[in-house]
Structure 1
Amino acid sequence: MKIVSIIFSVAMLFSTSAFAASTSSETVNNVTDIVDIQLKAYNNRDIEAFLATYHKDVEIHYFPEGLKYKGKDKLKEEYEMLFSRASYLNAAITHREIQGRFVVDTEEVTAKFLYQGKELENKFKAIATYEVEDGLIKRVLFLK
């Protein structure tokens, strides 16, 4: 029930009539493929492959704060910094829901960073909702 509430919230945030789009297996495969490629690039800290999965006008939202930033240039700046500081990144999908062009992933994230000569590990759970448009990720909403 919680995931239905999240999907409804996302639909309201990104309100379009296409939310009720078909969920045929072809649509699902195309929508999930780009998200899976993005996740693999994130885990490999491959900035070019990561950026290639996003629309040029991508929007990154955090709930409940709202829009954090917009555009691929800002996305590159944010993730280049993350990728350069992390000695290890891994996001593993523990649950996935698909509705039309929306993919809602529950992820277990592990990040390792060097801080004052010591490696620190941070583990957390995140819910990421991806809106895919024209084969690229157009919007992301993070719930932490």
Structure 2
Amino acid sequence: MHTLPTSPEAVVQRQLDAYNARDLDALLATYAPDARQYALPATLLATGHAEMRPRFATRFDEPDLHAHLLQRAVMGNIVIDHEVVSRTFPEGPGKVDLVAIYEVVDGLIHSQTVQVSNQRLDAQAA
């Protein structure tokens, strides 16, 4: 049986790949069953797969969704990603800047803390 790499960086990369593929099951498989998602500094957004699934499913409905990794830092079991995420807002397609801090334990993401800023709309064709 082939096992997937469990280094913190490999786990977070699988999470990012699943996010961009909109593969909800593969995405959740990178998270511990009781994982927690936070907004900086410590606002709890979701606990466990049951609360995370609908949050991701709603996001995956956006036609323009895509996360582009700009930079990654790995410090032991902590992985910090800086991304630009294409989104579909009520006003139209656009982007946000995102920093995500992942804590990976035993090959699974146990916590994810995000800061989203600088929402902007894409230039519309005239």
TM-score by length of 1: 0.71
1:52 corresponds in structure 2 to 29
Are the equivalent residues in 1 in contact too, given 2:59–2:65 (CA < 8 A)? no
Alignment match of 2:71 (pick from 84, 89, 95): 95
CA distance in 2, matches of 1:39, 1:89: 12
Structure 1 vs Structure 2: percent identity of aligned residues? 33
User: CA–CA distance in 1 between the matches of 2:102 and 2:63?
Assistant: 26
Q: CA RMSD in A?
A: 1.6
CA contact (8 A) 1:131 1:140 kept: yes
Unaligned 5+ residue runs, structure 2?
A: 1-5, 117-126
- Secondary structure of the 1:61 match is strand
The Cα of 1:96 is off from its aligned counterpart by 1.1
Query: Which consecutive residues of structure 1, in runs of 5 or more, have no partner in the other structure?
Result: 1-28
Aligned with 1:109 (options 61, 85, 90): 85
Aligned to 1:141: 113
* Matched position secondary structure for 1:73: helix
More strand by share: 2
* Cα distance per residue 1:107-134 (max 9 Å; x no partner): 0111236x5xxx8212011100000011
- Corresponding position: 1:74 with 2:46: no
Paired amino acid for 1:142: V
Identify the structure with the greater helix proportion.
Answer: 1
Once the two structures are TM-superposed, the CA of residue 65 in structure 1 deviates from its matched residue by 5.1
Q: Provide TM-score, normalisation by structure 2.
A: 0.81
| Cα shift at 1:88 | 2.5
Structure 1 stretches of 4+ with a deviation exceeding 3 A read none
What corresponds to 1:13 in structure 2? none
